[in-house]
Structure 1
Amino acid sequence: MTAETEKLDTLQAVELAEGIEIRLRMAGPMLRAGAYMIDLVIRVAVMAIGAITLGLAGIGIGFQVAGGMMLLIWFLMDWLYPVFFEAGKRGATPGKRIMGLRVVQSTGSPITLGQAVVRNFLRFIDGMPVFTYMFGVTSCMATQRFQRLGDLAAGTVVIYDRLPPMPVIAAPPPIVAVPLPVGLSANEMRALALFRERAGLWSDGRRAEIADQASILSGETGAAGVSRLMAMAHWIQEKRGGR
């Protein structure tokens, strides 16, 4: 239940060393791919303009010199372009800014220059095999925070930088507390409590969508499943409060 719920709700809690809990909304591979394509277009455009300019300048400075300068431009665009922008104040390349994304540390803090270098220099590994980015996509889909191999090595995540307002909708209060039909682990009970806590931020459809993932536990789907899970979470809270 926990894994399925976290896949649907990309708003994930991160507990800091000070005991403070923050919430980050992780960005999935599709939006990140869109940002990458925008950056690719920008880089190709810059290199094309540079090639035309140096091609004309090569008549005067020599074509070997112009070729060497073109290689330097390619290196800067391919390797240092993302490092320069992600290590900056905004923590995002132009493509990520357009898509509303930002690169941060796993704790939510701005990334350092070293982390920007590591995550982007390992992009070559993520792009394998043969620049299909299968390694990177597989890593994103297999990890809870959609981290590619470069993110795992650097300790970084990509999050939504611009979040739309989240309306608070009254969560359906349970009429009576319903005992759990089966024993749950501590993590599963915590997930159930978080479901009740966050339910007020979701629409009725979103609540039902998430609650349906736990239909085996509740024995219901849709609005009935939501009410059943809320009642079980209420029972857990009462039980803990009576200790």
Structure 2
Amino acid sequence: MATASLKRSDDPLDTTVRLVTPERIVFQYPLAGPFRRYFAYLIDFAIVLAAVVIASLTLIVLSLGSQSGVGPIFVAYFVIMWGYRGFCEAVFNGQTLGKRALGLRVVSERGVPITGAQAVLRNLVGSLDGTVPYLIRPDLTSLLLLTGLTSMLLTRKFQRLGDLAAGTMVVVEQRRGRAGLIRVEEPAVVALLPWLPLRVEAGPELARALSDYVNHRARLPRARREEMALHLARPLSVRYRLPENVPADVVVCAFYHRVFVGE
């Protein structure tokens, strides 16, 4: 199981959480502080408000202004207010439109993508810390937002009540586009590829470890490459029954090729 620790307390407010995988690969995630998350909240609040207004006007028109449209309006209000964040975070891998605009993402405390259950739970509990806006009672929303802010300031990972309940945290996303894909075509790597399946499935931690290593290996001397790649290459070699005495650097590069390039 991955363990997490924080940097020293003299870090800036948007600090960094360190996660260590069983393969001894260390990942660093910049944590999103309260202020950055608040701007994302304002964007989502505006979207929810606009959606409620549009839905209400549409239902009024469809009901020809009669009182029969009042009930559906309250239903639409409830569904949008309570469902927007949970739906977006479950479907779009931890992001609402506001979080996407600010480069934020909800992940589990282990640094892996959240599940649908976690997305729903953190937003249900969000009714207690102001994340779910009460458009009819803005004064109540403001009071509950103070509860959420207090919770974030008292926890090392800036977790509000919903995050504590669901075991999640909000990080600043580090985008890695496929435009930066590196093709490793060294003869030893190409010779090892037939030993691997055409497509190797890798979780987010393994994929990130492979990507980070290959993107930085050119700066390292050969001995240092072997030292760094060994912890990752050893369990992969055993799992896929690769030939013995293959350099760890070659193994990691071959897996990188299969995970990101395929072929």
d(CA) in 1 for partners of 2:64, 2:91: 37
SS of structure 1 residue aligned to 2:10: helix
CA 1:8–1:124 in structure 2 vs 1: closer, same or farther (change >3 Å)? closer
Counterpart residue number, 1:154: 166
Q: Does 2:129 align with 1:121?
A: no
d(CA) in 2 for partners of 1:9, 1:55: 45
d(CA) in 2 for partners of 1:93, 1:9: 20
Q: Please report how far the alpha carbon of residue 23 of structure 1 lies from its aligned counterpart in structure 2 after TM superposition.
A: 1.0
Q: Please report how far the alpha carbon of residue 19 of structure 1 lies from its aligned counterpart in structure 2 after TM superposition.
A: 4.1
Among 115, 130, 134, the alignment partner of 2:140 is 130
d(CA) in 2 for partners of 1:100, 1:36: 13
Deviations 1:103-145 (A, max 9, x none): 0101111101110111101111113993221111011111111
Counterpart residue number, 1:21: 26
Among 53, 57, 72, the alignment partner of 2:62 is 57
Q: Does 2:16 align with 1:11?
A: yes
| Aligned residue pair count | 161
d(CA) in 1 for partners of 2:41, 2:92: 19
Q: Please report how far the alpha carbon of residue 16 of structure 1 lies from its aligned counterpart in structure 2 after TM superposition.
A: 3.5
Q: Please report how far the alpha carbon of residue 35 of structure 1 lies from its aligned counterpart in structure 2 after TM superposition.
A: 0.6
Structure 1: where are the runs of 5+ without partners?
165-243
Counterpart residue number, 1:35: 40
SS of structure 2 residue aligned to 1:87: helix
The 10-residue stretch of structure 1 (17-26 or 147-156) with the greater mean CA deviation from structure 2: 17-26
SS of structure 1 residue aligned to 2:112: coil
Q: Does 2:85 align with 1:82?
A: yes
Q: Is the 8 A contact 2:14 2:33 kept in 1?
A: no
User: Structure 2 counterpart of 1:63, which letter?
Assistant: Q
TM-score normalised per structure 2: 0.56
Q: Is the 8 A contact 1:87 1:113 kept in 2?
A: yes
User: Structure 2 counterpart of 1:140, which letter?
Assistant: M
d(CA) in 1 for partners of 2:109, 2:67: 47
Q: Please report how far the alpha carbon of residue 32 of structure 1 lies from its aligned counterpart in structure 2 after TM superposition.
A: 0.6
Q: Please report how far the alpha carbon of residue 78 of structure 1 lies from its aligned counterpart in structure 2 after TM superposition.
A: 0.9
SS of structure 2 residue aligned to 1:104: strand
Counterpart residue number, 1:139: 151
Q: Please report how far the alpha carbon of residue 8 of structure 1 lies from its aligned counterpart in structure 2 after TM superposition.
A: 5.1
Counterpart residue number, 1:98: 101
Q: Is the 8 A contact 1:16 1:107 kept in 2?
A: no
CA 1:27–1:51 in structure 2 vs 1: closer, same or farther (change >3 Å)? same
User: Structure 1 counterpart of 2:172, which letter?
Assistant: Y
TM-score normalised per structure 1: 0.60
Structure 2: where are the runs of 5+ without partners?
1-6, 132-138, 177-263
CA 1:72–1:123 in structure 2 vs 1: closer, same or farther (change >3 Å)? same
SS of structure 2 residue aligned to 1:31: helix
SS of structure 1 residue aligned to 2:140: coil
d(CA) in 2 for partners of 1:8, 1:116: 25
Q: CA RMSD in A?
A: 2.3
Q: Is the 8 A contact 2:152 2:158 kept in 1?
A: yes
SS of structure 2 residue aligned to 1:81: helix
